[in-house]
Amino acid sequence: MSNSVSNTSKKYNLWIWILSIAVPVAVAVLFTVRIPGVERLGFLPPIYATINGLTAILLIAAVFQIRKGNRKTHERLMKTSIVLSVLFLVMYVAYHMTSDSTPYGGEGAIRYVYFFILISHILLSITVIPFVLITYVRAITGQFAKHKKIARITFPLWLYVAVTGVIVYLMIAPYY
């Protein structure tokens, strides 16, 4: 690896660490904040669930594109997936800053399934942040062998988070 790539990677690594810690902490803190006088944003959950679904579709499409050798299309799809994930996060936080959490009303075995999916979704949504950022940095710095290696881990994690986001929404939607 050349010296300039190494220096650039070090700069990015600092930002990866900062964002990987700051984003989950900020989300946790913002969950405790209620914006007074703002109407409940109850229309957002189906929108951000749809964004999760679109992200899942784009991630799969991006993998197909890179396997076909369409690097530019792959790059556009991945950048769009990142933008969609950021939009999801902004809407998700905005919703929770204006609304109380909705308790899950299901009973029996499905309740355990719901909480397993929800907890794994939350934990992996935190875990995937540095993976996405590292994978992205390796691509934009031209470290394609390293990018490909970590993308094999990042893709299934990110896809799981996107798909389970939709599942969690569908399971809790009747209780809104």
Residue 5 has pLDDT above 80, yes or no: no
Q: Please, what are the domains in the chain?
A: 41-175 (1.20.120.80)
- Write a three-state SS string for 96-140: HHHCCCCCCCCCCHHHHHHHHHHHHHHHHHHHHHHHHHHHHHHHH
The values of phi and psi at residue 107, to 5°, are -125, 160
Confidence of residue 10 (pLDDT cuts 50, 70, 90): confident
Structure token digits, residue 2: 């050349």
Residue 138: CB atoms within 10 A of its CB come to 21
User: Measured between alpha carbons, how far is 46 from 70 in angstroms, rounded to an integer?
Assistant: 32
pLDDT tens per residue across span 155-175: 999 999 999 999 999 999 999
Instruction: Give CA separation, 142 vs 8, 29, 83, 138, in Å.
Output: 11, 36, 21, 6
Q: H helices then E strands: how many in the chain?
A: 5, 0
Confidence of residue 63 (pLDDT cuts 50, 70, 90): very high
Task: State the chain's mean pLDDT as an integer.
Answer: 94
SS3 58: helix
pLDDT tens per residue across span 13-61: 999 999 999 999 999 999 888 887 788 898 999 999 999 999 999 999 9
Q: Looking only at Cα atoms, what is the longest distance across the chain? A: 58
Q: What percent of the chain has pLDDT over 90?
A: 82
- Is the CB of residue 157 less than 8 Å from the CB of residue 128? yes
User: Measured between alpha carbons, how far is 164 from 143 in angstroms, rounded to an integer?
Assistant: 30
Residue 89 has pLDDT above 90, yes or no: yes
Confidence of residue 3 (pLDDT cuts 50, 70, 90): low
* Residue 11: predicted pLDDT: 86
* Residue 163: predicted pLDDT: 98
